[in-house]
Chain A
Amino acid sequence: MKYYTYYPGCAMETTGKPIKSSIDAVTKVLDMELRELPDWTCCGCPGESINELAAVSMATRNLALAEKTGLDIAVPCSCCYRNLLNAHVTYTEDPRIREQVKQALAVVNLEYHGTVRIRNLVDIFVNDIGLDVIASKVQTKLSGLKVASYYGCHETRPYGPDDFEFPVWQDQIVEKLGAEAVFYPLKAQCCGGAQLFSQIDMIHKLIYKIIDNVEGHGAQCISTTLCPLCFSNLDANQGLIKSRSGARFHMPIIALTQLMGVAFGLKPKELGLNKNISPALDVLKPYLKVRV
């Protein structure tokens, strides 16, 4: 059994619900225990653009709480992951910011000593649990399913640890599940989640580029990163966008842990698959043990 402090992030409670339930189900199979950080608050990522110091201070509050647990902190949401890691790096490397953040945290009697390891959940799957263990838990091989892995930005940029522009870890997991990993160049392109409400035209164009690219390379579905913003942006918005053929997109969008859960023989409801807006169950039907 491996133990981690778990930081789900705000969106995991709402639009990320399908991902959250699948993470809970899949981590059980993989003998991991995710202990939710008590009294966690927003990581501060949404405010970074107009006040970096406030964002770093908010993230450091969570890190100071996590430090007390003595465990690595596991973060599925890419934006939270990057912002928490950014706060840690800035805090430990920039003495000027460190002093300012210390002053801000002193107001609430907290102090951060810079000892937390911030880990993306995909990183944990590949490097702590191991691809072979994942393969050993597979009950239904996803043979014949052509899967395009979508990484988004912050899972690997700017801190890695997978490659910045051509990451491979999700593809490696997908292959261990017995599916065929489809290569396509835009796998780490931005979906525009940051401008979700404000610039709809921009979002639609960015989503078009990604899904068009996936279709062009012959994939049947997209297996996304565990970031609820990327997942929900692709899942909910694609129905408004016309594809090359003139019809609207209906690309199945499946979170990585949902796909893993199907291969592990878990029930669709446990994995939140009944809540996906895109026709996720259509491509997964042949691999499900239960009839839907």
Chain B
Amino acid sequence: MPATIKGAKTFVDEVAAEPGGEKINECIQCGVCSGSCTTVEWWEYPPRKIIAMIRAGKRDEVLSSSSAFNCVTCYLCTVRCPRGIKPAQLIHAVESIAEREGYRPKTPTLKLFKCLRDAMRQGRVWELGLAMKFYLSTNIFSALGNLPVAFSLISRGLMPIFPPKKVKGRREVAAIIDKVQAMQKTGELQ
């Protein structure tokens, strides 16, 4: 077991120890989350099934699947769940574990999240830089479809081609992220 989940015995305990996963044992498998999901047609395993698989201990199948990374965080599942489980946060807990443990599900979204994480360290997000970094690290040709959009945004001055002025708070933000990651790494959190 990894250090971050000191004391956790099973996969379901591990998810329950992650922020957002606390209420996983209260799920009654009604399927309202899957039925409400905006993007369910792109998921290999819908949210209800993921919860069932976690409870059945299918750690590798869940963490190596791209399913959770299709979540657009629209919270329809969360406001409808009759047990108040907050499935969207639970899905984020799965994504967090998968990312931290080095699982590499086949989806560009994981890469996007990592680029976003780097962008946030600068204090404010510079969209064009983020987009270029993402496309260069995934598939540069997939950017072609977005060129007309990028062009109309840039020509209206809505997507600056130079990074924004650096804000003072960026050092504080980086220090906060470093501290959080250090706590997560050493397992201080349990």
B window 40-79: CB within 8 A of A = 42, 69-76, 78-79
Q: Verify A158–B86 contact, CB threshold 8 A.
A: yes
Give A44-62 interface residues, CB cut-off 8 Å to B: 44, 46-54, 56-58, 61
Q: How many A-B residue pairs have CB under 8 A?
A: 207
Do the beta carbons of A11 and B127 come within 8 Å of each other?
A: yes
A108 to B181, CA, bound (A): 15
- B23 within 8 Å of A (CB atoms): no
Main secondary structure of the interface of A (DSSP, over half): helix
**Chain B interface helix/strand/loop/mixed:** helix
Partner of A52 from the list B19, B42, B178 (CB cut-off 8 Å) is B19
**A98-106, A169-177, A255-263: which lies at the interface:** A98-106
Instruction: Give the residues from 10 to 68 in chain A that come closer than 8 angstroms, CB to CB, to chain B.
Output: 10-11, 13-15, 17-18, 39-42, 44, 46-54, 56-58, 61
Stretch with Cβ within 8 A of A (4 or more), from B5-13, B26-34, B108-116: B108-116
In the assembled complex, the CB of B80 is this many whole angstroms from the nearest CB of chain A, namely 8
Q: How many residues of A sit at the interface, in one of the four size bands?
A: 35 or more
Instruction: Tell whether B158 is near chain A: CB-to-CB under 8 Å.
Output: yes
Evaluate contact between A15 and B78: CB separation under 8 angstroms.
no
Asked whether, in the complex, the Cβ of B127 is within 8 Å of the Cβ of A107, the reply is no
Question: What are 24 pairs between A and B in contact, CB < 8 Å?
Answer: A15-B158, A47-B117, A49-B95, A49-B96, A50-B100, A50-B113, A53-B184, A53-B189, A54-B176, A54-B177, A58-B173, A58-B177, A61-B173, A61-B176, A103-B183, A107-B176, A165-B79, A192-B39, A197-B112, A198-B109, A198-B134, A236-B153, A237-B149, A239-B148
